[in-house]
Structure 1
Amino acid sequence: MKTIFVRGMMLAAAPGALLAASAAHAGAFYLQEQSVRATGRAFSGEVADQGSASLWWNPAAIGGMTGGEGSFGLSAILPKGKVTNLNTLIKRPTNTAPVAIGGEQVSEDPINKGYLPSGAVAYGITPKVALGLAITSPYSFTTNYNSTSWARYTADKTMLRTFDIQPSVAFAPNENISLGVALNAEHSKASLSNFLPNLSAALPDGHQTLKGDGWDFGWTAGAQFRTDRVTFGASYKSSVKHVLKGDVVTAGLLGPLAGQNGTISTKATFRTPWQATFGARFKATDKLTLNAQIVRFGWNKFDSIRLGSPINSALPENYKNTWSFAGGVDYAVNEKWTLRGGIQHDQTPTRDGNRDARVPDGDRWNFALGTSYDLMPGFTIDAAANYLPVKNASIDRTTAAYAGTAVQTPILVNGELRKASVLVFALGGRLRF
């Protein structure tokens, strides 16, 4: 009986349960700030560029290199936005009709500011073969809603940290072609919580927390075709199936629900999206290079979160596949100084009718400026700034606490993400040796 109740309570927390997204830096919970150089041109030429800074997008980027190169960066990601209640209702078994949910009706800036490090190193061991290693955090964020927020029954505190270790090898059979493959070893750690309504509105809320972590693996493959004026690049990054082992902790339930308090060990399984990336760089003049990039994201892989024994439940997410389009320029002011910029449009994979407060996400534009300067022979400093306005989006996914039981308590969610935007400031460097 306790397992049945916990399954029902988890359904209330289902949307985005282990991988709730933010209205931040890319569609849903993907962080694309894996290179300062890339950030400065709105991620418009990475799959076709060369060097360690492009390893995340294409392991073929290091094919044919001589000597070694390291790149590093730190991005400050500063989101803002309001998650506003319009007319969310709760229907307790003790009520004859749904009533308005109480508490704070506007949640200001629930998505935490973050600082994202990234780094990569590569070395050409022969004229044709190069090895590389990139360390990134492609899916990481934290959201916080107050305990009195109108969204508390579907979102309280959510934390996700991923660390991706990507060893790569590239082979350049001639000066025009480079091929690369990589392994993606990812460690994920997640924690999410939400409040649970007791049967009477006069009683304080209960609370539930799910925590888990685990190591899982994927792969990346890519190719580049290079000429004096044009470089074309393409890559495919696989979906990663994550299995997180952890616990569900329930506390604060009173009266007939008190027997459901306690801890249950379980595991959760989900998939991150695959990525197919295509791009080109065209050297229009000796100083000006034009960049373009298209990414197809396989977000349909994140269709549900499956909770293992003893809960044995699938929590639907229903994400859709999306596109990202970007264009940008690099302009060499002189031998030491380069300016760059770009514009990107990125679609949200969340759907109207399926979006909750854990995933306050919308389509967004990205306007970028960046620069590089050779401080000394072999060392270049990179800097970038992005502004991302996010389209208003409905928060409208109906959930239910204790779903499928005699005390099922529907939460009829009706809210909206408003005035959301993100500022990104990035600083890093590249070292040749």
Structure 2
Amino acid sequence: MKHHHRIAVSLAALAGATALAGVADAQAFYLQEQAARGAGRAFSGEAADTGAASLWWNPAAIAGIEKAEATISTSLILPKGDVVDNGTLIVRPQQAPAPVGGTSPSSNPINKGLLPSGAVAIPLGDRLAVGLAVTSPYSFTTDYDNNSWARYSADRTYLRTFDIQPSLAVAVTDWLRVGGAVNVEHTEASLTNALPNLSAALPDGSQKLAGSGWDVGWTAGFQMHNDWATVGVSYKSAIKHTLKGDLTVGGLLGPLAGQNRTLNDVEASFYTPAQIMVGGRFRATDRLTLNAQTIRYTWEKFDAIRLGAPLNTALPENYRSIWSYAAGLDYAVSPRVTVRAGAQRTLTPTRDGERDARVPDANRWNYAIGGSFDVTPNFSLDAAANYVDFEDTTIDRTTAAYVGSAVQTPILVNGRLEDARAIILSLGGRFRF
């Protein structure tokens, strides 16, 4: 039981990364790049727009469509930033606090990546439509060097989430559209970090968690519209994720060698947040449409990571719920060309004093430009570029290895996220048939 308790604490710190992303675009571990059209206006009107390209945000978006539609997009995410050590200390048993050592800064730990998405919608008569969206809302890879100063809380983290959203929508009246959907999500994760041996002269040990699982949530929404305005409201439920996999601990020497082992069928569970979205699109002139959207993310659901038998413990996370705000415009330059622009402000759900190197998250601004070109009456190209500017912030969550034992080893983290930014390039196509 003592071995299980010590491993439980290490696993809890590690398992947190199954739900955590680093610097990307939206906040914490949610990626919002699910359509190139929306990226061009900083996702400022998606809950109120129509067609398959808005299906992820509001299933009511496809009600009343006249033709079958399909959309496919991909976003190239190019993050940069430094995770800097400002004097992190390690306190080994019966030893004075000492510098944790390792390289600093850790530059660009968040990997570049491609994020694909797609959706299709088919009308069934004048008012009813069915649709299917396939997205990857929680996906990232981080790689710190093996000798990084942050190695005891973060080494390599791999996360992929695939969301399959079948939807049904109906135009109830000439001014009201409603829709509902089921969100089926598959999550895969592989996570590693270093473990300190009792002597600084010895090489570090390591631990790795790999697991996967299937989980289910739901989305519902409505849109009210007239000749000059559309207002959309949708709710995307929180989802409880349960991952099952294996934990491997190795490389521990001396008195710690007995903890080298593999535990099978380890279970870790956590919640991703609900989203309450309110968006509006307003036709100012025949060519100009103004957009606005706000989203409430219930990140307080991510209060802890809970570990099942044989570990039976939990690690508090204490995220806070946050808002995002966006405004943008669409301007029809010609019947075939539309240009877009927008800005979005999003806060981080992580708290000062509880932010670690796995989640170097911060408040940010997202600035966007984009456009669409109707190649034919039935095919349009969408393109967008986003620049995301992150505030500098602290990396300051104190951790410990072997908690509750005679060899408990605190890591007094003192770091910062500096000069973080991301460029995101999106390209997509919309088909009508």
Fold similarity call, TM over 0.5: yes
Question: Who is 1:172 aligned against?
Answer: 171
Q: Distance in 1 between matches of 2:312 and 2:336?
A: 59
Secondary structure in 1 aligned to 2:233?
strand
Q: Which residue of 2 aligns with 1:27?
A: 27
**Deviating runs (4+, > 3 A) in structure 1?**
11-14
Question: CA–CA distance in 2 between the matches of 1:23 and 1:409?
Answer: 28
Structure 1 position 224 matched with structure 2 position 227: no
1:406–1:53: structure 2 CA closer, same or farther, 3 Å change rule?
same
Partner of 2:72: 72
Which structure 1 residue ranges, 5 or more long, are not aligned?
Answer: none
Task: Give the Cα–Cα distance (whole angstroms) in 2 for the partners of residues 111 and 232 of structure 1.
Answer: 36
In the alignment, is the contact (CA less than 8 A) between 1:142 and 1:159 conserved in 2? yes
The corresponding residue for 2:7 is 6
The one-letter code sitting in structure 2 at the alignment partner of 1:8 is: V
**Pairwise CA distance, 1:20:** 2.2
Provide the residue aligned with 1:408 in structure 2: 408
Provide, for residues 121-143 of structure 1, a one-character-per-residue CA deviation record: whole Å limited to 9, x for no partner: 00111111100000000000010
Identity fraction in percent: 59
CA distance in 2, matches of 1:24, 1:83: 14
**Which aligned pairs between 1:215-294 and structure 2 lie closer than 5 A?**
215-265=214-264, 266-294=266-294
Do the aligned partners of 1:275 and 1:297 also contact (CA within 8 Å) in 2?
yes
Displacement, 1:346?
0.6
Matched residue SS, 2:6: helix
Q: Is the 8 A contact 1:7 1:402 kept in 2?
A: no
Map of 2:130 onto structure 1:
131
The answer to whether the 8 A contact 1:236-1:277 is kept is yes
Q: Distance in 1 between matches of 2:207 and 2:224?
A: 52
- Shift in Å, 1:24: 1.4
> What number of residue pairs does the alignment pair up?
431
SS state at 2:18 partner? coil
For residues 24-423 of structure 1, the aligned pairs below 5 Å read 24-95=24-95, 97-265=96-264, 266-423=266-423
Cα offset for 1:35? 0.4
State the SS of the aligned residue for 1:217: strand
Q: Structure 1 residue 262: deviation in Å?
A: 1.1
SS in 1 for 2:300: helix
Paired residues of 2:268 and 2:305 also in contact (CA < 8 A):
yes
Given that 1:8 and 1:405 are in contact with CA atoms closer than 8 Å, whether structure 2 keeps it comes out as: no
C-alpha separation between the residues in 1 aligned to 2:30 and 2:20? 11
Q: Distance in 1 between matches of 2:415 and 2:76?
A: 28
Verify the 8 A CA contact 1:133 1:167 in the aligned structure 2: yes
Letter in 2 for 1:377: P
Deviations 1:29-64 (A, max 9, x none): 100000000000000000000000000000000011
The CA deviation string for residues 162-185 of structure 1, in whole angstroms up to 9 with x for no partner, is 000000000112221000000000
**Deviation string, structure 1 residues 272-291 (Cα, Å, up to 9, x no partner):** 01000001000000000000
Determine the C-alpha separation between the residues in 2 that align with 1:116 and 1:247.
27
Distance, in Å, in 1 between the alignment partners of 2:338 and 2:27 is: 29
CA change 1:66–1:359 in 2 (3 A) is same
8 Å contact 2:380–2:431 — kept in the other structure? Answer: yes
Inter-CA distance 418–262: structure 2 relative to 1 (3 Å threshold) = same
Q: Distance in 1 between matches of 2:216 and 2:195?
A: 35
CA distance in 2 between counterparts of 1:122 and 1:380 reads 16
Q: Per-residue deviation at 1:21?
A: 1.9
Question: SS in structure 1 opposite 2:257?
Answer: helix
One-letter amino acid of the counterpart of residue 317, structure 2: E
Give the drift of 1:8: 3.2
Deviation, 1:18, is 1.8
Instruction: Report the Cα distance in structure 1 between the residues aligned to 2:262 and 2:316, rounded to whole angstroms.
Output: 23
CA distance in 2, matches of 1:371, 1:183: 31
Measure how far apart 1:388 and its partner are.
Answer: 0.4
Determine the C-alpha separation between the residues in 1 that align with 2:172 and 2:161.
35
Q: Deviations over 1:165-215 (max 9, x none)?
A: 000000112221000000000000111110000011111100001111000
How far apart, CA to CA, are the structure 1 residues paired with 2:54 and 2:124? 18
TM-score, normalising length: structure 2: 0.98
For the aligned residues, what is the CA RMSD? Answer: 0.9
Residue type at the aligned position of 1:276: I
Give the whole-Å Cα distance in 1 for the aligned partners of 2:316 and 2:9: 13
Contact 1:12 1:403 in 2 (8 A): no
Q: What is the distance in 2 between the residues matched to 1:221 and 1:206?
A: 47
| Equivalent pair of 2:12/2:305 in contact (CA under 8 Å) | no
After superposition, give the CA deviation of every residue in 1:345-380 in whole Å (9 maximum; x if it has no partner): 011000000000000000000000001001112000
Displacement after TM superposition at 1:12 (Å): 4.8
CA distance in 2, matches of 1:55, 1:9: 40
Which amino acid in structure 2 is aligned with residue 325 of structure 1? Y
Shift in Å at residue 328 of structure 1? 0.2
**SS, match of residue 234 in structure 1:** strand
**Could you tell me which residue of structure 1 aligns to residue 425 of structure 2?**
425
The residue type paired with residue 271 of structure 1 is Y
